[in-house]
A = this chain, B = another copy of it.
Amino acid sequence: MEQMQTVTVEALERRVETILLAHGMSAPNAQAVAHVIVAGERDHCKSHGLYRLEGCLKVLAAGKASGVSVPVVQDAGGAIVEVDAGGGFAPASFNAGKAALVARARDYGLAALVIRDCLHFSALWHDVEALAEEGLAGLSMCPSYAFVAPSGGKVPLFGTNPFAFGFPRKGAHPYVVDFATSVAARGEIELHRRAGTPIPEGWAIDTEGRPTTDPDAALAGAMLPFGGHKGSAIATMIELLAGAMLGEFMSREALDFMGTGDLLPRHGALILAFDPARFAARSGRDPIAEAERLLGAIEDQGARLPSQRRFKARAQALAEGIALTAAELALLERLSRPDALR
């Protein structure tokens, strides 16, 4: 049997923070990045857990990101709050801008947080869940690397462009959904390639735009957006709103800038916050109680709300700690060395 070691969430955060500091990251950045990485691990959201740590170190080692940048908040008092991440990781910038975003949303009813020139490597549910804890509905989106072709086309232009939405609930975890607008993640195709197994139909096309189940042909060609032309339109919307509209990179420019899809992408991010209390005020209704009628009715028929598995894993991790495998322990050990990636 594999050797496991159970650590508390706090201990794992400190461990990851120490590793990031050893690789030259500043304390506020290390703390913010460690928090979101361990939050992913805590929620058993493995694709955004410890797995991401090496990616953070790699992009730092490549000199393509800053571990010491100080987020600069631009808050002119309007409904747009901007944070310049200066080529740093998004979590510290989100933390820096959050209070102003929340205040503006409460003042005006809705507001936007624009993060410029960041590496938004963490799961987007983190952003909208933080807003829901403040009683706000939230939308979060960003481009990534151009690996996804538009519906009816063959040249990759969109990223896997994640989209997240959150809505507060009373006495329960918020409604939180977070998904890629591609059918599958690129990493899943890579796993099929390594295993020598075909990918399911509908995931990708080859360089000629023909449907393919060959992982190599898919990686050379393009991935497909979910939901046909409707999903393709949502991916387009994310490029336009969180890329072009902000004057930040869209997914193709992000790929050109980095010169590789193997490092974390650098681009902007858009986070919208809505205050249901403000929106509903004139109706005389309680928007959170209204929402519950829908969410309760979804649960009552046995359909699962998104994120429930994550919240369950979280409760367990907080109560019993996180069990790390021997491979994970070895990874942490290896990454602890400042020359780990050289």
Contact = CB atoms under 8 A, between A and B. Distances in A.
Nearest to A284: B247
A250 B167 CA distance: 15
Interface string A151-193: 1111101000000010100000001010101000000000000
B153 A283 contact: no
Interface in A274-308: 274, 276, 278-288, 290-291, 293-294, 297-298, 301-304, 306
Contact of A236 (B79, B151, B175): B175
Contact of A240 (B155, B167, B282): B167
Contacts of A114: 279
Interface residues of A, number: 74
Nearest to A155: B301
Interface string A109-121: 1111010100000
Interface stretch (A91-99, A224-232, A311-319): A224-232
A107 interface: yes
Task: Tell me whether chain A's interface is mostly helix, strand or loop, or mixed.
Answer: mixed
A110 B291 CA distance: 24
A157 B298 contact: yes
A325 interface: no
Given A236-B175, A303-B150, A283 B247 contact: yes
Contacts of A240: 137, 167, 175, 291, 294
Contacts of A21: none
A144 to B, nearest CB: 14
Given A79-B110, A109-B80, A240-B291, A155 B231 contact: no
B154 A301 contact: yes
Interface in A81-97: 82
Contacts of A286: 247
Contact of A290 (B109, B112, B228, B244): B244
A127 interface: no
Contact of A246 (B167, B226, B280): B280
A70 interface: no
Interface of A: 74, 78-80, 82, 107-112, 114, 116, 137, 149-155, 157, 165, 167, 175, 177, 179, 181, 226-231, 233-234, 236-237, 239-241, 243-248, 250, 252, 272, 274, 276, 278-288, 290-291, 293-294, 297-298, 301-304, 306
19 contacts: A108-B108, A110-B110, A110-B111, A112-B274, A151-B303, A153-B302, A155-B301, A157-B297, A165-B233, A167-B244, A167-B245, A179-B229, A230-B231, A239-B294, A244-B290, A245-B280, A246-B287, A247-B287, A252-B293
Given A154-B301, A244-B291, A250-B293, 20 more contacts: A74-B282, A79-B109, A79-B111, A110-B272, A112-B274, A112-B279, A149-B303, A151-B303, A152-B303, A153-B301, A157-B298, A165-B233, A177-B236, A226-B231, A227-B230, A229-B306, A236-B298, A246-B279, A247-B286, A250-B294
